[in-house]
């Protein structure tokens, strides 16, 4: 009895296979590259070589593209990222009270008290506190983004970098380079600036209490982890599957639903990865709402419909 969890985000599309004991037995971390449907199909094709449709007893979808993914694969559960990340963290360790999550395009904080989400917040429009900022700076400095963490750990004297705005931060980094500052001190200063931005913009004075869990793709950066620990004054825990926690939480919720209802999964099968999936967009002018409707099709079969407020096309 296996469960499939899917997290379709703006930067990555993640899939996990979880067993009956809530253990991840397989995972995929794929780049979305602006084509979530193709990324999802690729993930299904890769998993089809290892599992059969009959192995899957439940499917959950999350992420910014959760409705899209849910319609395409036939998900039993479709939940937002706040819920799935909190469920995943609490399953790994019920003692976790604060979840720090930083992805490619967004970041969030989740406060858990007595096993229940008590508060949460997400970032605003600025990218200074997200993984995309690190990607941009790594490319400009001539490093792989995976190398930034180890470079930051070599620093003995991090320089001060503006962290309130991505544009100002980049200008400050260039200025420090021109002054001849050591590259490890610049990268460490950049890491501390990202953390300050996160704490002042996303956390906004929320009570961050241990145990603190750091997840999302940026959690791989040891420089960011150290900067969080220095700012918070406590240990920051990074789980083994930090980069697929959303998908993991979706799989857990799919399992919980099956155990409650005993209903057969709506999973359309791994062969969905080979289907020709298309979308149609149009503006409905049957009323003053003028909804911009999106219909997802596999061949001539409609799989889902979004943004029609009255439900006419669903």
Q: Residue 209, Cβ neighbours under 10 Å: how many?
A: 14
d(CA 6, CA 66): 8
Cis before 62 (ω within 30): no
Q: What is the pTM of this model?
A: 0.90
Contact 18, 252 (CB under 8 A): yes
How is the chain split among helix, strand and coil, in percent rounded to 5? Answer: 40, 25, 35
Q: Residue 144, Cβ neighbours under 10 Å: how many?
A: 9
In terms of C-beta distances under 8 Å and separation of at least 24 residues, what long-range contacts does 25-33 make, across chains too? 26/50, 26/51, 27/241, 27/244, 27/247, 29/243, 29/244, 32/8, 32/65
pLDDT in single tens digits along all 314 residues of the chain: 999 999 998 889 999 999 999 999 999 999 998 899 999 999 999 999 999 999 999 999 999 899 999 999 999 999 999 999 999 999 999 999 999 998 877 889 999 999 899 999 988 656 556 777 788 888 888 888 788 889 999 999 999 887 667 677 788 888 888 899 999 999 999 889 888 888 888 888 899 999 999 999 889 899 999 999 999 999 999 999 999 999 999 999 999 999 999 999 999 999 999 999 999 899 999 999 999 999 999 988 999 888 888 888 87
The reply to whether CATH 3.30.420.40 applies to domain 92-241 is yes
Domains 2-86+246-274 and 92-241 equal at CATH topology level: yes
Q: What CATH architecture applies to the domain 2-86+246-274?
A: 2-Layer Sandwich (3.30)
Per the document, the length of the chain is 314
Contacts of 223 (CB under 8 A, 6+ apart): 148, 149, 150, 151, 152, 153, 187, 188, 191
Average pLDDT of every residue of the chain: 91
Which residue ranges make up each domain of the chain?
A: 2-86+246-274, 92-241, 277-306
Residue 142 in tokens: 């001539």
d(CA 196, CA 91): 29
pLDDT at residue 62, rounded to an integer: 97
Contacts of 179 (CB under 8 A, 6+ apart): none
In terms of C-beta distances under 8 Å and separation of at least 24 residues, what long-range contacts does 131-139 make, across chains too? 131/11, 131/102, 131/103, 131/104, 131/105, 131/216, 131/217, 131/218, 132/11, 132/104, 132/105, 133/166, 133/169, 133/194, 134/190, 134/194, 134/218, 134/221, 135/104, 136/166, 136/170, 137/170, 137/173, 137/190
């Amino acid at each position: 009895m296996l469960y499939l969890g899917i997290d379709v985000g703006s930067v990555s599309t993640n899939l996990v296979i979880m067993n009956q004991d809530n253990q991840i037995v397989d995972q995929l971390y794929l780049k979305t590259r602006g084509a979530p449907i193709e990324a999802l199909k690729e993930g299904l094709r890769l998993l089809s070589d290892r599992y059969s449709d009959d192995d899957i007893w439940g499917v959950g979808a999350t992420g910014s593209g959760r409705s899209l993914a849910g319609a395409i694969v036939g998900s039993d559960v479709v939940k937002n990222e706040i819920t799935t990340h909190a469920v995943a963290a609490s399953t790994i360790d019920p003692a976790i009270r604060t979840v720090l999550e930083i992805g490619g395009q967004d970041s969030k904080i989740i406060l858990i008290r007595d096993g229940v989400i008590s508060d949460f917040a997400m970032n605003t429009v600025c990218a200074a506190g997200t993984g995309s900022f690190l990607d941009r700076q790594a490319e400009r400095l001539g490093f792989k983004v995976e190398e930034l963490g180890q470079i930051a750990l070599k620093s003995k004297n991090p320089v001060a970098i503006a962290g309130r705005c991505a544009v100002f931060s980049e200008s400050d980094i260039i200025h420090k380079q021109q002054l001849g500052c050591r590259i490890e001190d610049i990268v460490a200063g950049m890491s501390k600036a990202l953390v300050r931005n996160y704490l002042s913009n996303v956390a906004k004075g929320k009570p961050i209490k241990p145990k603190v869990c750091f997840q999302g793709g940026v959690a791989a950066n040891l420089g960011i982890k150290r900067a969080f620990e220095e700012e918070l004054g406590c240990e920051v825990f990074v789980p083994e599957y930090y980069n697929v926690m959303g998908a993991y939480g979706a799989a857990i919720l799919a399992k919980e639903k099956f155990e409650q209802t005993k209903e057969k999964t709506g999973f359309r099968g791994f062969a969905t990865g080979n289907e020709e999936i298309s979308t149609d967009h149009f503006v409905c002018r049957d009323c003053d709402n003028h909804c911009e409707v999106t219909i997802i099709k596999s061949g001539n079969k409609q799989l889902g419909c979004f943004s029609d407020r009255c439900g006419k096309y669903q």
